[in-house]
Homo-oligomer: A and B are copies of this chain.
Amino acid sequence: MDGSHWLSMHPLVEKLTENGHDVVVVIPESSLTMGGSETFTVQTYPVPYTSQEITANFQKLSREHFSLPSHFPWIAIEMLDSMMVVFNMFYKSCESLLLNQELIQKLRDEKFDAVLTDPMLPCGQILAEHLSLPSVFFLRGIPCNIDAKATKCPTPLSYVPRMLTSLTDHMNFPQRVKNLFYDLTTHVMCNVLYSPYEQLAKEFLKRDVSLQEILSHAAIWLMRMDFTFEFPKPLMPNMILIGGINCAQKKLLNQDFEKLVNSSGEHGFVVFSLGSMVSEIPMDKAMDIAEAFRSIPQTVIWRYTGKVPSNLGSNTHLVKWLPQNDLLAHPKARAFITHAGSHGIYEGICNAVPMVMLPLFGDQMDNAKRIESRGAGVTLNVLDMTPEDLINALDSVINKPSYKENIQRLSALHLDRPIHPLDLAVHWVEFVMRHKGAPHLRPAAHDLNWIQYHSLDVFAFLLAVLVTTFFISFKCCTYTCRRCCGRKSRPKSKSKKE
């Protein structure tokens, strides 16, 4: 997986290399964020598109998010439409990999110990199946609850909110109806998105397989999940929680940023970034935001590569890139304005900086809802927010003590762990390499069909037994009653005759 997914996985790959493993990263020749490295080997393969095309598609996707309809199901339809373009490109990449016989043979000859892959795209797992290698998944989640289905992890609809619903774990009746409705709708959506992969897998592996079955063969699921952020829900034994794996050790700021930060005075500074995928926004929106920043006493460091808004205040500094984690770790950081990508949210939690969240797409609305429900941030709709909304939100998270207290509490809970998530991830990758998988963690649920899993056959049998017992008892009773009544009445009739 390209984009932020690769950026999340990258530290784990680096760490594995550091531990002395030979890591070969298989990537398409054209990509967004994936590239060469001095530490690990990169194996590229040709794809029928250029890096310019992929960048242009992603930029289009991010631009489109500023003109999305604001309500379901239109938002889902529009998003599905935009995602299809990107998904199709990923599909072409997968096809190019799997049909590249020379490369596949080369990979087979390497005799790897394991495959590490992000199952958001099932390409890596199809390859692992083909090479008969155990696999480790690295993920935040797969849309439409596919991860839960593939691991047989129970996720009751009554308190486990589905993706894109912006619901919390405490739902009233209409919200629980909505949750079920989204569950069904996204199930259809994912059938559309993933069916080409299923077809490709069938052709490539030369057997009839479902996507769920392929994914279910993963030995370990490294989930970027932590319950200071996620709502508590059931887990399976092969799910290892590594939420916060991307919070790096604080490094020193370079001279420019150090100067900027030190000049911010007693009011401190605000960090603003919409993530690696969105660095430009429409000018009217940029001007609204600049307008808001002019009126706050804090210095603002804003990652922005677009045209400079004409109303930019002297306290606002535009930068093409910023050391996000190191800035958030600075004691003068007062607030973090973020698109609520999971990466940024975890950096906010790690460094205990309250957030103003401007979610744009994917899981970002859900992420924002989670932080908001903990009282550690404020969510704004970037499409219809006014400068006043942003000023008020910043004022709240900076000046109301509860926001800082709540994020500090979350941060303390999150960082209080027996082992760092990165070390934990490395352990489990090495575990799979050493033991050629982790079959002892695979639940027997995988060997049951739907009816058996839910014990429907057992309940039907018991119902049949109950009904039969009741029926026989009833028949016996009526028969006995008739006999008794018959005996009693006969002498009467006899006496009558007499």
A residues contacting B by CB (< 8 A) are 153-154, 156-159, 169-170, 173, 176-177, 180, 227-228, 231-238, 410, 412-413, 416-419, 423-424, 427-428, 431, 434-435, 438, 440-445, 447-448, 452-455, 457-458, 461-462
State whether B419 touches A419 (Cβ < 8 A): yes
Centre residue among A235, A444, A453 by max chain B CB count within 10 A: A444
State whether A173 touches B458 (Cβ < 8 A): yes
Inside 8 A of A173's CB, which chain B residues have their CB?
Answer: 457-458, 461
Distance from A167 Cβ to chain B, minimum over Cβ atoms (Å): 11
Name the contact of A228 in the complex, choosing from B233, B419, B424, B440 (C-beta under 8 A). B440
State whether B236 touches A445 (Cβ < 8 A): no
> Provided the pairs A158-B455, A435-B416 are in contact, do residues A233 and B443 lie with their beta carbons within 8 angstroms?
yes
Inside 8 A of A169's CB, which chain B residues have their CB?
Answer: 443-444
State whether A448 touches B412 (Cβ < 8 A): no
Distance from A231 Cβ to chain B, minimum over Cβ atoms (Å): 7
Distance from A391 Cβ to chain B, minimum over Cβ atoms (Å): 31
Name the contact of A443 in the complex, choosing from B159, B424, B453 (C-beta under 8 A). B159
Inside 8 A of A428's CB, which chain B residues have their CB?
Answer: 418
Closest 5 CB pairs of A and B: A169-B444, A154-B154, A418-B427, A159-B444, A232-B443
> Provided the pairs A237-B227, A413-B435, A435-B413 are in contact, do residues A455 and B180 lie with their beta carbons within 8 angstroms?
yes
Centre residue among A159, A176, A228 by max chain B CB count within 10 A: A159
State whether A440 touches B236 (Cβ < 8 A): no
> Provided the pairs A180-B458, A232-B440, A443-B169 are in contact, do residues A158 and B453 lie with their beta carbons within 8 angstroms?
yes
Inside 8 A of A410's CB, which chain B residues have their CB?
Answer: 440
State whether B418 touches A424 (Cβ < 8 A): yes
Name the contact of A177 in the complex, choosing from B227, B431, B454, B462 (C-beta under 8 A). B462
Beyond A158-B452, A173-B458: 8 further Cβ-contacts under 8 Å?
A: A154-B234, A156-B455, A158-B445, A159-B445, A180-B462, A412-B435, A418-B423, A418-B424
> Provided the pairs A158-B452, A235-B235, A235-B237 are in contact, do residues A441 and B180 lie with their beta carbons within 8 angstroms?
no
CA distance A407 to B443 in the complex (A): 20
State whether B232 touches A234 (Cβ < 8 A): no
Inside 8 A of A442's CB, which chain B residues have their CB?
Answer: 232
CA distance A4 to B400 in the complex (A): 52
Distance from A158 Cβ to chain B, minimum over Cβ atoms (Å): 5
CA distance A130 to B417 in the complex (A): 29
Distance from A275 Cβ to chain B, minimum over Cβ atoms (Å): 26
State whether A232 touches B227 (Cβ < 8 A): no
State whether A177 touches B232 (Cβ < 8 A): no
Residue of B nearest to A456 (CB): B158
Inside 8 A of A445's CB, which chain B residues have their CB?
Answer: 156, 158-159
Inside 8 A of A157's CB, which chain B residues have their CB?
Answer: 455, 458
State whether A159 touches B448 (Cβ < 8 A): yes
Inside 8 A of A423's CB, which chain B residues have their CB?
Answer: 418
What would 26 A/B residue contacts be, using CB atoms closer than 8 Å? A154-B154, A154-B234, A156-B445, A156-B455, A157-B455, A158-B448, A158-B452, A158-B453, A158-B455, A159-B443, A159-B444, A169-B444, A170-B444, A170-B447, A173-B457, A177-B458, A180-B462, A227-B237, A232-B237, A232-B444, A233-B237, A410-B440, A412-B435, A413-B438, A416-B431, A419-B419
Residue of B nearest to A238 (CB): B232
> Provided the pairs A440-B227, A445-B159, A452-B158 are in contact, do residues A234 and B153 lie with their beta carbons within 8 angstroms?
yes
State whether B232 touches A235 (Cβ < 8 A): no
CA distance A452 to B177 in the complex (A): 11
Centre residue among A227, A427, A438 by max chain B CB count within 10 A: A227
Inside 8 A of A417's CB, which chain B residues have their CB?
Answer: 427
Inside 8 A of A458's CB, which chain B residues have their CB?
Answer: 157-158, 173, 176-177, 180
Inside 8 A of A457's CB, which chain B residues have their CB?
Answer: 173, 176
State whether A419 touches B416 (Cβ < 8 A): no
State whether A236 touches B234 (Cβ < 8 A): yes
Inside 8 A of A434's CB, which chain B residues have their CB?
Answer: 416
